[in-house]
Structure formats: C-alpha cells, structure tokens
A and B are shown apart, each in its own frame.
Chain A
Amino acid sequence: MSRLLRDVKDSGAVAFMALLIFAPFLGLQLGDSDSGNLTLSTRPALLAAAVGLTFAARFCFLLWEAHRPPRIPALSLGLAKSGKYAAPALLIFAIVMPFLPGIKNASIDLGVLIMTYVMLGWGLNIVVGLAGLLDLGYVAFYAVGAYSFGLLSTNFGLGFWECLPLAGILAACWGVFLGFPVLRLRGDYLAIVTLAFGEIIRLVITNWVSLTGGPNGITDIPHPTLFGLKFSMAGGPGSFAGFFGITPSPSQRITYLYYIILVLALLTNWVTLRLRRQPLGRAWEALREDETACRSLGINVRNTKLTAFAIGAMFGGFAGCFFATRQAFISPDSFTFMESATVLAIVVLGGAGSQFGVVLAACVMIGVPELLQGLQIYRMLIFGAALVVIMIVRPRGFISTRRPTVALGKAKPISADLIAQGQG
C-alpha cells in the first residue's frame, strides 16, 4: 500500500512539473489583436488534459516498472536471426511489389521514397558504420549529385543516364575535397565541421542565384528514358507506350523509377558487402576500432579515411541525381540539415554497420510518417518523440548484433556493444 502511495506522490510531483512546463505553451496562446499588439488567451482545458495525461503516464510507467520481468542481459538474436530469412523475403517483395494486383501508384511512389533513403542510409553507413567517422553533413553530397544533374541537363541537355556517373564522380570529388581538411579532426570536432560543410553548400546553392536559381531552384529536369524511349503521357512514336503499342499511363514511369532506385540501392549494398571483405573494407573497420593501432600496423589512415568519404559521397551523389530526376524540380529546401539528421538517424536506428537494419529503419522512419500524413501538423511532433523513445528502448538500433567480417573459424554473431563506436 505504501508503495502505491509513493507512486502516487511521485506521479504527482511529475505532474506538477508538467504543469509548470506546459503552462506557458499549452495553457496560454499568443494571438494578434486588431491593433497589431499581441494578446494572450488561456486554454485551461488543454493544459489540464496534458497534466492529467502526464500523471497517468508516469503512474502507469511506475506500475509497469515494478511488475516487469527482470531483464536478461543475453544476446538478443531475434531480429538479427530473422534477418537471415527476412532479408531475401523483403528483397523478393521489393522486386515484385509494383506488379502486385491492386497496388496503387501512391504505394509505388512511397516505395521509391523509402528506397532512396535506404540507398542514402547504405551510403552513409560506409562512412559512419564501417569507418566510424561521424558525418553530420551527408546531405551536401546528395545536393551535389542533384544539382550536378540539374545543371548539366538544363544547361547542356544531358540526360539522366549520362549524368548519373558524372554526378557520382563529382560527389566523390567533393567528398575527397571536404575530407582533406577534417583528416586530423576527431569525434565531435569532425561532426561540427561536416555539419558546417553541409550548411555552406546549402548556403552557396541558395545565394548563387545566377547559377542555381537560388531559392526558386531548378525546374523542368528531364525524366529518365529507357534506351531513349520517353515516358510521356502523349504516347506516340519515340515514347515507351508508343514503342510497345500500349496505352500510356503514369504508373509506367513510376514503376520504371522504382526499378532504377532498386537497382541503384542494391548496387550500393553489393559494393559495400564486397568492399568489406577486401583490404580496404577491413582497413575501414580497423580504423573504426582503433586509429592508433591502425597507424602502427602500417595502414595509410589518410587514404583510408578519404576513400570512405569518397565512396560514401559517391552513393550520396547517385541518390541525389535520382532524386532530381524523380522530382523534376530541386531547390535548396530539400537539402537542409534535417535530411542529414534523418539519414543519420536511419543508420543509427538500424544499428550502425548493419545493412538489413538500415532497411528496417528506413521503412519505419520514412514509411510511418507518410502513413501519418492525415495528422498533418502533429506528424513531426510524433516523429521527434518516436526518435527519442526508440533510442531509449533500443540504444544499439534494431539490429543489435554483428557478424564479424573476419574470424578465426566460424564467424559467430557478437553483441554490438563489442564494436567500437569510432572516434575518428
């Protein structure tokens, strides 16, 4: 009984703090009077509801905490094991998805969006998950890819397929260029400088109006063609529908885009998995574990870091190029810090270093907010709260076990806590 009383007291204290915290924002509301001055109106019902809810939530939490089964600190292999079967299943689903009966264009479009973030997540995973370099400005390379295609196509009339490799190469060059100054920096110094580079690129794009169109962005970016066949709604000769003699419909173009990004994302995954087995990938992982040991064993730390930046940036550039062709319109608004944060959150939420985890996290982080579209203004509120809650519940991400790349004998999954977090 005394326990219940204590819980009630505790919840009461929390509710009182909630009252103070919520009072200025939920209890009061700023408004404009006719004379242009600010006015205040009160909303006691909303405030009372918020405080009551806090009390109830805290009380339930305390009750649950008293009765929950003790935690077993064993290796939780559930999700990681399921990944063995779930990953191929998911891949097959991804391949046949556009041809499932009754599938809507909107769903395929959502698939395209999720896949773009999967690709970005895999690209950033090379930098953060494998090489252990905390990059908060990944969106810079996404922007470089998108703008290089946008500018090349509108100024020189190049198509998507010519620009795709160029965008990747340009982004990789920027990766090396921006990687050089930060070679000596570690940890959070690296984080802030990469963030700064991301912001600089966005500011330049916004302000260099004569080249990039500034805040108005670039419009009329061409859609990709299939061996020169356009996906135009008019049909006729030279178009996809005209060539195959079918009625043109928007779903053809969306499906085509879907398969392009699927192939690009799988390419990213394949390259990453292959590289991990090669000396370069092993050097990355060694760098993440211990930079000093790496140096003393004769690994060229500079080149290793730069290749990580370059290859990560290259995939970011590919994804950016695809983004530009999908949207047909790009503006600096698409390349804010929020994008970097979202991609980083996908990588960390998936379990840094885990390829399958990135897919899961991208589905959760991109898919769920899209499904919440109806909630409009509360969408981002829920998104932020969800990030906090997921991190607290699973600090090592969805997939919290790793299979070492190299092992003596049979490689057994180990807890992610044994993997260094990378101070570089």
Chain B
Amino acid sequence: MAYALQQLVNGLTLGMIYGLIAVGYTMVYGIIGMINFAHGDVFMIGAFIGIIVITALSGITAVPLGLLAALIISAALCGLYGFSIERVAYRPLRGSFRLAPLISAIGMSILLENYVQTSQGALERAIPNLIPGGITLMRQDGFAVQLTWMQIAIMAVTLVVLAVFTYIVTKTPLGRAMRAVEQDAKMAALLGIDTNRTISTTFIIGSALAAMAGVMFLLYYGVIDFYIGFNAGIKAFTAAVLGGIGSLPGAVLGGLLIGLIEAFWSGYATVAYKDAAVYSILAIVLMFMPSGLLGRHEVEKV
C-alpha cells in the first residue's frame, strides 16, 4: 500500500512534466495539423537555459529567486525559439504536402540537438538538489512514503501554469482566436483574425510550456544532456495522442497516465521495459479508441 502510494506520487510528478510538454504538441497539432518533432528539443533547450541561468545566479541570489528566474528566462527565450522555428521551418511549408513539414520538423530536431551538442558539449550536466528535504506522508512496515518539496514545487508550478493557460485559452480574445483558427483557419481569417499572428502565438505559448517542463525536469532529475529531448518528446507526443490529439485536457490526462504507467511499471515490473509498456498501452488504447481517450471522433464527409 505504502509502496503503491509512493509510485503514485512519483508518477504524478513525472506525468505533470509530460503533460506540460504534451499541451504544446496538441496545440500545434490542433492549429496547423502537423507533428512538431522539434518540440521535444525545445524542452531540452529549456532545460539547458535553466541550468545556465541557475549556474550564473548561484551564490548571487537566494535559491527560490534563482529558480523563478530560471523558469521565466527559460520560458521567454524558448518562446523566442518556438517563434523562430515556426517562421523559419514551418511557415514556408504551410498548406503544402503533408509530409514536407514533418521532414522539416525532423530536420529541425536534428539541427537543435547538434546545435546544443556542439556548443555545450556532449557531456551530461548535473546540478545538486536545490530544494532538499520533504515530508513523510505515512509509514508502513518500515517503508516511508516521501513527498519531497521538489515534487510539491513541481506540482504547484504545473498547476499554476496550467490554470493560467486554461484561462488564456478559454477566456481571452487570444484564446478565442486560437480556437477559431483551430476550427477553420480560412473562415477565421475572413472574420478578421490574423491567423499568422495566432499561429505564432500558439508556438510561443507551447514552447514556453515546454521550457518550464524542461526546467522542472532538470530540477527533478538533476542531470540533463543534449539528448533528453528525444525521449521526452516521443513520450509527450504519445501522451497527446493517447489523450486524443487536439484536445487540451486530453494532453494533460495522457501525460498523467503515461507518468503513472511508467512509475508503476518501474515499481512493480521491470525498469528496462517501462517505455515498451507505455508504447504497448498506447497501441492497445488506439486499437479500441482510434481517436484517443478524449479526442473527437472525426466524421468523414464524402
């Protein structure tokens, strides 16, 4: 029981990080219908900017202020990355052959990975745990269920970010524009919505969320390298598809599910096959629900 609770806590923390990345995937997919393969690498870039800011500020400011600065600077710069990536690699291909932006995105992903590798080296970079300690939820048979401050901080930040994000999408004119472009870009443009600007904003918001996820990943695991973007990106994309791609609550739900599957599988079965378990469950869910858990079932008109 205690062990299961511990896995639940770990899984939820991990799932929140995946959920944050998955939201970016699902937003971009919803609005221009492409798989943004470079999204995972934006997450990696966010983590690297985080480690650079934390290193630069260490010893100068208090730890919480430093972490806040890392989150904000990383989100801002990654927003710029997302904007530039869309302008350079995707906008010229909008409305063309469906596979062209996919290949362009794969190229962008390779480019970003190697850009970080050549500029910062291929070594793993580690930081110490900046928020040590935690609270013990319960003890049972000598096994203590730990909820670390780090996990609490990650969950709190994720919930705040998601709340702000939900507010933006559901209540503001920008969010309305985004949903309109998602439903029908041409019609939205006819009604006076600047589609280009809306798509750019979508990329900026999605990348900023990924960057925050990156910083939290860095804080949680303490170790990053230039290659973390690939795995996290694939997992988050899996999460987005599992939840039903295009659905924002679906992305968060998918992220949480994948985090939980990973945590419980590592806890009760083998760590080696945890990724295989995630992918198998994805395949099984899609066999029975071809549009994901919360996805709209598309009715094909002929």
Residues of A in contact with B (beta carbons under 8 Å apart): 17, 20-21, 24-26, 28-30, 37-40, 128, 134, 181-182, 184-186, 188-189, 191-193, 195-197, 199-200, 203-204, 206-207, 292-293, 337-338, 341, 344-345, 348-349, 352, 377-378, 380-381, 383-388, 391-392, 395-396, 416-417, 421
Contact B302 A348 (CB under 8 A): no
Binds A, one of B113-121, B136-144, B188-196: B113-121
Residues on the A chain within 8 Å of B45, using CB: 25
Among candidates B35, B58, B116, residue contacting A191 with C-beta atoms closer than 8 Å: B35
Contact A388 B279 (CB under 8 A): no
Question: Quick one: which of A38, A195, A206, A337 has the most chain B CB within 10 A?
Answer: A38
Task: Evaluate whether A181 and B125 lie within 8 angstroms (CB atoms) in the complex, with A203-B273, A392-B89 already known.
Answer: no
With the chains together, A349 CA to B101 CA distance in Å? 12
Contact A378 B119 (CB under 8 A): no
5 interchain residue pairs of minimum CB distance: A387-B107, A384-B111, A384-B110, A196-B279, A395-B100
Contact B283 A30 (CB under 8 A): no
With the chains together, A184 CA to B286 CA distance in Å? 9
Among candidates A134, A197, A391, residue contacting B107 with C-beta atoms closer than 8 Å: A391
B residues 249-302 near A (Cβ < 8 Å) are 270, 272-273, 275-276, 279-280, 282-284, 286-287, 290-292, 300, 302
Contact A189 B286 (CB under 8 A): yes
Contact A199 B234 (CB under 8 A): yes
- B91-106 CB mask vs A (1 if < 8 Å, else 0) is 0110011111111101
With the chains together, A244 CA to B247 CA distance in Å? 69
Residues on the B chain within 8 Å of A338, using CB: 110
Residues on the B chain within 8 Å of A348, using CB: 97, 99-100, 102-103
Residues on the B chain within 8 Å of A381, using CB: 111, 114-115, 118
Residues on the B chain within 8 Å of A344, using CB: 99, 102-103, 106
Residues on the A chain within 8 Å of B49, using CB: 24
Residues on the A chain within 8 Å of B118, using CB: 377-378, 381
Q: Is B208 an interface residue (CB 8 A)?
A: no
Contact A352 B99 (CB under 8 A): yes
Tally of contact residues, B, Cβ under 8 A? 69
Q: Is B56 an interface residue (CB 8 A)?
A: yes
Binds A, one of B4-12, B61-69, B173-181, B237-245: B237-245
Residues on the B chain within 8 Å of A417, using CB: 97
With the chains together, A384 CA to B229 CA distance in Å? 15
Among candidates B108, B115, B290, residue contacting A189 with C-beta atoms closer than 8 Å: B290
Apart from A384-B109, A391-B89, A391-B101, what 12 extra A-B contacts exist at CB < 8 Å? Answer: A40-B55, A181-B287, A195-B234, A204-B273, A345-B106, A348-B97, A380-B114, A387-B107, A391-B93, A391-B103, A391-B104, A395-B93
Nearest chain A CB to B95's CB is how many angstroms away? 10
Contact A388 B89 (CB under 8 A): yes
Nearest chain B CB to A375's CB is how many angstroms away? 11
With the chains together, A185 CA to B245 CA distance in Å? 13
CB-CB nearest in chain A for B291: A189
Contact A196 B84 (CB under 8 A): no
Q: Is B52 an interface residue (CB 8 A)?
A: yes
Q: State the total of A-B contacts with C-beta under 8 angstroms.
A: 181
Residues on the A chain within 8 Å of B245, using CB: 188-189
Among candidates B55, B93, B114, B272, residue contacting A392 with C-beta atoms closer than 8 Å: B93
CB-CB nearest in chain A for B108: A388
With the chains together, A383 CA to B279 CA distance in Å? 29
Among candidates A184, A203, A206, residue contacting B290 with C-beta atoms closer than 8 Å: A184
Contact A21 B100 (CB under 8 A): no
Residues on the A chain within 8 Å of B103, using CB: 344-345, 348-349, 387, 391
10 contacts between A and B (CB under 8 A): A29-B119, A128-B99, A184-B290, A189-B245, A200-B280, A206-B272, A344-B106, A380-B114, A384-B110, A395-B93
With the chains together, A348 CA to B114 CA distance in Å? 22
Contact B283 A25 (CB under 8 A): no
With the chains together, A39 CA to B52 CA distance in Å? 9
Q: Is B48 an interface residue (CB 8 A)?
A: yes
Residues on the B chain within 8 Å of A387, using CB: 103-104, 106-107, 110-111
Contact A134 B99 (CB under 8 A): yes
Contact B279 A40 (CB under 8 A): no
Residues on the A chain within 8 Å of B234, using CB: 195, 199, 337
CB-CB nearest in chain B for A23: B77
Nearest chain A CB to B48's CB is how many angstroms away? 7
- B79-96 CB mask vs A (1 if < 8 Å, else 0) is 011001000110011001
Residues on the A chain within 8 Å of B109, using CB: 384
Q: Is B29 an interface residue (CB 8 A)?
A: yes
Residues on the B chain within 8 Å of A197, using CB: 279, 283
Task: Evaluate whether A196 and B238 lie within 8 angstroms (CB atoms) in the complex, with A189-B286, A191-B35, A383-B110 already known.
Answer: yes
Question: Quick one: which of B99, B120, B121 has the most chain A CB within 10 A?
Answer: B99
Among candidates B55, B96, B112, residue contacting A395 with C-beta atoms closer than 8 Å: B96
CB-CB nearest in chain B for A342: B106
Question: Quick one: which of B48, B104, B117 has the most chain A CB within 10 A?
Answer: B104
CB-CB nearest in chain A for B231: A199
Nearest chain B CB to A206's CB is how many angstroms away? 8
CB-CB nearest in chain B for A209: B272
